[in-house]
């Protein structure tokens, strides 16, 4: 039976886990994906000690899911970085415009600027936890 999908397979189709590398990679991918079923199986011991056998297609599918997950995370991070850049640019333009309109240089409290920045991020659809800490690439 395949350790990853728990479906029966012909003995000739199964590969025995025989390196620490495969165990650590599968653990890392399981945690990254939040695959609690796989994590619970791995918590009983390492794949080598368990005598785990897996189907090559199942391992490839697991790695592909991890790669897709990484792409989605990366895309989301890029979108948030772009939203932060746009918001900061708009805020700077507003400050520059207010300096042109008033004969006396306006004063801005940093706390007020942060509130305005966070409000604009919310309008851009940036998640609240990403607004709480200012973006640092």
Higher-confidence position of 86 and 9: 86
Residue 6 falls inside a structural domain: no
97 found inside a domain = yes
Is the same domain home to 56 and 78?
Answer: no
Q: Examine the domain organization and report whether 60 and 101 are in the same domain.
A: no
Half-sphere exposure of 118 (CA within 13 A, CB side): 13
Question: What residues make up the domain containing 116?
Answer: 74-132
Which range scores top for mean pLDDT: 2-11, 23-32, 85-94? 23-32
Residues 15 and 60 in one domain: yes
- For residue 14, the cross-strand partners are 55
Q: Give Cβ neighbours of residue 4 (< 8 Å, ≥ 6 apart).
A: 26, 38, 54, 55, 58, 59, 62
pLDDT bin (cut points 50, 70, 90) of residue 137 is very low
pLDDT of residue 129: 64
As a whole number, mean pLDDT of residues 30-39 equals 90
Assess contact for 93 and 59: CB atoms under 8 A: no
Q: How many domains does the chain have?
A: 2
111 within domain boundaries? yes
94 and 54 in one domain? Answer: no
Q: Give per-residue pLDDT as tens, 65-93.
A: 999 988 888 877 788 888 888 888 888 88
pLDDT over 60 at 136, yes or no: no
- The pTM of this model reads 0.58
According to the model, what pLDDT value does residue 134 have?
Answer: 53
**CA-CA-CA-CA torsion sign (52, 57, 62, 64):** positive
């Amino acid at each position: 039976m395949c350790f990853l999908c728990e479906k029966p397979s012909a003995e000739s189709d199964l590969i025995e886990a025989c390196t620490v590398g495969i165990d650590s990679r599968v653990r890392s991918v399981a945690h990254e994906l939040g695959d609690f079923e796989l994590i619970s199986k791995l918590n009983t011991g390492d794949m080598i000690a368990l005598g785990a056998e897996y189907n090559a297609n199942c391992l490839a599918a697991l790695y592909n899911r991890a790669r897709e997950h990484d792409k989605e995370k990366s895309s989301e991070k890029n979108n948030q970085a772009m939203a932060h850049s746009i918001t900061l640019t708009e805020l700077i333009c507003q400050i520059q415009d207010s300096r042109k309109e008033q004969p006396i240089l306006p004063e801005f409290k940093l706390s007020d600027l942060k509130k305005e920045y966070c409000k604009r991020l919310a309008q851009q659809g940036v998640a609240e936890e990403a607004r709480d800490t200012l973006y640092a690439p």
